[in-house]
Amino acid sequence: MKSFKGIFVTWVFTTLALLVAVFFYFWSELGEIVFGTGEANTGLVQATLDDADIATIKAVRLERDLKDSAPAASTAPAIAVTDLRVVAKVGMNVTVGFRLSASPSTTQYPTLRIFVLAGRQTARTVDLSPQRYAHGVRLSNEQIRVPLTLNPGETGFTAQALPGEQGGAV
C-alpha cells in the first residue's frame, strides 16, 4: 500500500501536468485568435498586389463600410401562406382559400404561386400577380380566395407567396 506522501506527490504531479496541458491548449487557441495563425485562418483567401496593381486602385472600402451601405434586405416584410383549404368544389372547378399574412403590414401584395399536385408530384404551377386576385388595400392578415380549374389526375395543391419585384402595389 502506498504511503500518504506517495499518493500526495502523484496527485500533485498529475494536477500540474493537466494544468500545463490546459495552459498550452489555451495559449495555442489565443495565438490563432489574436495572431491569425493555425487552422482558424485557413479559410481566408489572401491576395498579393504588385506595384502595377496598386496604381489602378481608385478607392478602398472596409468590410464594415460595405455592410453599412448595403440596402437593407430586412426591410421587406415576411409574408406567409397558411390555412390552405378547398372552399368550394363544382366538378373540376375549385375555389382555393388560404390566409395571407405579412409582418410588418404592407401595401405590396405578393405574386401567388400555386403548385397543383397530381399525387405527390407537382403537375403544374399557376402564378397569380396581385392584379389577378381580390385583396384589400393593406396586407397584414387576410383571407384570400382563388378559383382554379383542375385537370384530370390533379388531386391537391400548395401555395407560396413571392414578394418583391414579382408583386406590386394595388
Closest CA to 139 of 56, 77, 54: 77
3-class SS shares of the chain: helix, strand, coil, % to 5: 30, 40, 30
Task: Return the domain boundaries, the chain.
Answer: 4-69, 76-169
Amino acid at site 113: R
What cell does 36 get? 491569425
pLDDT of the residue at 109: 86
pLDDT of the residue at 14: 93
pLDDT of the residue at 75: 63
Domain 76-169 has CATH 1.20.950: no
CA distances to 15, 54, 79, 83, 166 from 108, rounded to whole Å, are 66, 46, 10, 21, 10
pLDDT of the residue at 161: 87
pLDDT of the residue at 43: 47
pLDDT of the residue at 15: 93
pLDDT of the residue at 16: 92
Amino acid at site 148: L
pLDDT tens series, the chain, 170 aa = 667 778 888 889 999 998 988 888 877 776 666 555 555 444 444 555 566 666 665 566 555 555 555 455 556 678 888 888 888 888 888 888 888 888 888 888 888 888 888 888 888 888 888 888 888 888 888 898 988 888 888 888 888 888 754 444 44
pLDDT of the residue at 105: 80
* Whether the model pTM is above 0.85: no
